[in-house]
Amino acid sequence: MRGSRTGQLAAVDLGATNGRVIAGAVGPDRIDIRQVARFSNEPVHIWNGWRAALHWDIAGLFGQLSTGLAEAARQAPELLGVGIDSWAVDYGLLRDGRLLGLPHHYRDTRSGVGLDAVHAVISQSELFERNGLQFLPFTTIYQLAAEQLVGALDIAEHALLVPDLVGYWLTGTMVTERTNASTTGLLGTTGDWDRALQDRLGFPPHLFPELVDAGTHLGDLLPSMATSLGLDRALQVVTVASHDTASAVVAAPMAPEAAAYISCGTWGLVGVELSAPVLTAAARAANFTNEFGADHRIRFLHNVMGSWLLTETARQWERDGTARAELTLLLDQAAVCAAPAAVFDVDDPRFLPPGDIPARIANWYAEHELPIPGSRAEMVRAIVESLAAAFARSVHAAAALSGTDVRMIHMVGGGAQNRLLCQLTADHAGLPVSAGPVEATAIGNLLIQARAHGLVSGDLDALRAVVAAAFITERYTPRPATKGKEP
């Protein structure tokens, strides 16, 4: 990989639980990162006349990330630019360039009516043939159908996915970045908007703006934004692989022809990287998805509930009014607990909404006439064991459905810090797990920016070589079978 200089860049990484601004010095043979800001991303309940709906506090998030960018610019006066990534599927509706309301949270229950409306027009099987996506009840296509039923699409001129909305507020330019667009259900398997599908569903053709690829120069910060950040010069905004999983996969230091990845945060995204989608009936039956990655690679993957189960369990114990639940200590205690009598189905829909996850897990075990985990440590062990089993199943399914000879699993994201999860995933899969880097999403974000700025060059293999040289990973080897049984 050749290049001539090192540059300072900032990555805005908005996760479904928290957000970060990560600054990095990137060059042809180095990438050094530091966290500049970290902030919570808590949903808000807003009464809409007949129920309390779940929304994102997008204005609050924008204020937090702006403060983080100002600090990044203060620490690095030579800062060149910024890229934004976030969770998928959610969006803001705009008219005359103004946001019409706070974006709905994908865990809000409104999507059910949209789901019924979509499948009254097109079957799930035909939809999969057109977009290659797994069935998830909160996919953008269902959310928009719910908006249509209440007349919101008659008012809106544009729908901007969360990172595109942030980019618009920073630069005044409206686009839709392709990796995140591929999670909406409205993109065809060729990577272009499926205008015929949008027409069948009655969605206005102007709703989503022009598609662009990761690495597109979006524009300079608006003068007003630059002033508010304390800048007296231009700061360039570049589109990255704006679905956070797509950025994380960029930074997974893997050989795609022989590896699977697990991007583990609020969700666990488990899959392989391919050059073409897998559109077989078996892939649809297994509920696998074909999403676009950087450089038009295909992320063939399955969504698993992820660390949401752990964090929401800890929140519930705190809501109960007992002592603060420290997950690090609980994970240490869980590591010496016996495996549960059986793992539970982490993808059961009951675990999707916020609330009392421990009670729901207990109900699941009771319904299946299985012993209920007793102590907190036993509950945490059951969660981690069940996640690991689900990850392993998805790895083997991805390999079988795609024909990939998986010999290594790369765990990236926050889950790479969970030693118990990494070890149990290796045990259940019977394959070694390479854990790290933890900040893979921000690293992938920075690398795509760096390539657009000419600081690095090459394809994804070349970018991953920079990651492999710069970050230490930890290897977990499968142990003899000690795992919980399937129910």
Q: How far apart are CA 73 and CA 364, in angstroms?
A: 50
CA 368-372-376 angle, to 5 degrees, is 145
Residue 406 Cα to chain centre, angstroms: 22
Query: Residues 80, 9: contact at Cβ < 8 Å?
Result: yes
* Residue for token pair 């990560």: 22
Query: Residues 428, 482: contact at Cβ < 8 Å?
Result: no
Query: Residues 359, 320: contact at Cβ < 8 Å?
Result: no
3-class secondary structure, 382: helix
DSSP string, 279-340: --HHHHHTT-EEEE-GGG-EEEEEEE-TTHHHHHHHHHHHHTTSS---HHHHHHHHHTSPPP
What residues contact 436, with CB distance under 8 A and at least 6 apart? 411, 412, 416, 471, 472, 473, 474
Q: How far apart are CA 92 and CA 58, in angstroms?
A: 9
Ramachandran category for residue 132: left, alpha or beta (phi over 0 → left; psi -120 to 50 → alpha) = left
Q: How far apart are CA 444 and CA 181, in angstroms?
A: 18
CA 367-372-378 angle, to 5 degrees, is 145
**Does residue 192 have an active-site annotation?**
no
> How is residue 134 annotated by DSSP?
P
Query: Residues 82, 239: contact at Cβ < 8 Å?
Result: no
3-class secondary structure, 247: helix
Q: Which of 85, 244, 345, 427 is catalytic?
A: 244
- Give the sheet arrangement for strand 98-99, strand by strand: 98-99, 91-95, 158-161
* Residue for token pair 């009392």: 356
For the chain, the residue count is 487
3-class secondary structure, 271: strand
User: Which are the catalytic amino acids?
Assistant: 244
